Structure 1
């Protein structure tokens, strides 16, 4: 129960990696507010932890929506201690044909959403110190043809994380990043189920397999608990040893 007594707010927390992190935080004793535009199938998590799990609707491109989310979490559980900025979207498209609409959607959700989540969290985390964990990607530092918008926004998130860590550290707030590699969840699962694409990528894994969502969630626990009390401004890659090229 490494997170007992703490309250975590997770954007994009109802499916994929966000849900895996929410479930692991609950298993470690935390109160969890999972926030998303759509609830998906989160009812079973709420049923398992009726006193410590809460579902909220949020628009991460809206400062007002995020401010209301943080206030609701504190009012419900008494504090906000950990904020995981996980909400994100990916839209395929080479530079020459990527639509402005999809570009703006990725910038708005991935990058601006992370920025606004941080701003909304600071007043609450300052009350007794806390953690911000920004979810990036291995694609922040590796070229992926057809993913200019996703790669660019994730790279920007990592630098935003490092600057935020320096600025917010004196306020008792630690800011770190979590950069998953190819995980058997969401986009990673789609890749694994594509026989031709998987054959091309399979040899790039030092461990011979894609990662599991629970392995990313375990790293998120480390960044949230006292074991990482002197880790600030770091981007933790969870990719099993990924040879990209």
Structure 2
């Protein structure tokens, strides 16, 4: 129960990695708010600990929506100790074909959303005895992927935003780190593993020869939110099984 007594807000928390992190945080004793545009089948997660969990709809591209999320969380559970900024979208397209609307959607969700969530959470986190922000990035933040300019660029920006935030917020008792998963067996990674032609190309680039499980990435998110990471700040933790990329 490494997160007992802590309250966590997880954006994009109703499916994929966000859902897995929510489940793991609940098992570790945290109070958890799963925040997303769509609840999907989140009731299965909330049923793990109904008295310590809630779903709150949010649009991370809207400052009013994000502010309301933090206020409602504090009203429900008495504060906010952990923010996991996980909400993200990917739109395929080479730079000469990528639509402006798709580019702006990625910037608004993947980057501006992290900024808005951070800004809204700070007044609550600085009242915590152990404020934590975990920004979810990607292995593609530091590796070139043809057709993914928008996604790669926004995730790279998230990592630099994390490092600057860590320096600015550290003196206020808030640690800011980034979790950068590789190819996982759910969410966006599933689009790779479910296509035999694509997966045959990427499998050879993984030292462990398999995709990661979302629970393995969720374990890393527990570390970054807990007491064991009390002197880790401004770090990008890659969870990718040894990913080679050319």
TM-score by length of 1: 0.99
Alignment map for 1:1-245 (pairs within 5 Å):
1-128=1-128, 129-245=130-246
The 4+ residue runs of structure 1 with deviation greater than 3 A are none
Contact 2:26 2:48 in 1 (8 A): no
> 2: CA distance between counterparts of 1:69 and 1:188?
28
- Find the residue that maps to 2:47 and give its secondary structure: helix
Alignment RMSD (CA, Å): 0.7
Contact 2:3 2:28 in 1 (8 A): yes
User: What stretches of structure 1 of length at least 5 have no aligned partner?
Assistant: none
> 2: CA distance between counterparts of 1:89 and 1:203?
26
**Offset of 1:31 from its aligned partner?**
0.3
> 2: CA distance between counterparts of 1:222 and 1:60?
25
**Offset of 1:48 from its aligned partner?**
2.5
**Offset of 1:47 from its aligned partner?**
2.2
> 2: CA distance between counterparts of 1:91 and 1:34?
24
- Find the residue that maps to 2:199 and give its secondary structure: helix
> 2: CA distance between counterparts of 1:135 and 1:67?
20
**Offset of 1:12 from its aligned partner?**
0.3
Cα deviation digits, residues 27-49 of structure 1 (max 9, x gap): 00000000000101111112231
**Offset of 1:204 from its aligned partner?**
0.5
Q: How many residues align?
A: 245
Contact 2:179 2:221 in 1 (8 A): yes
TM-score by length of 2: 0.98
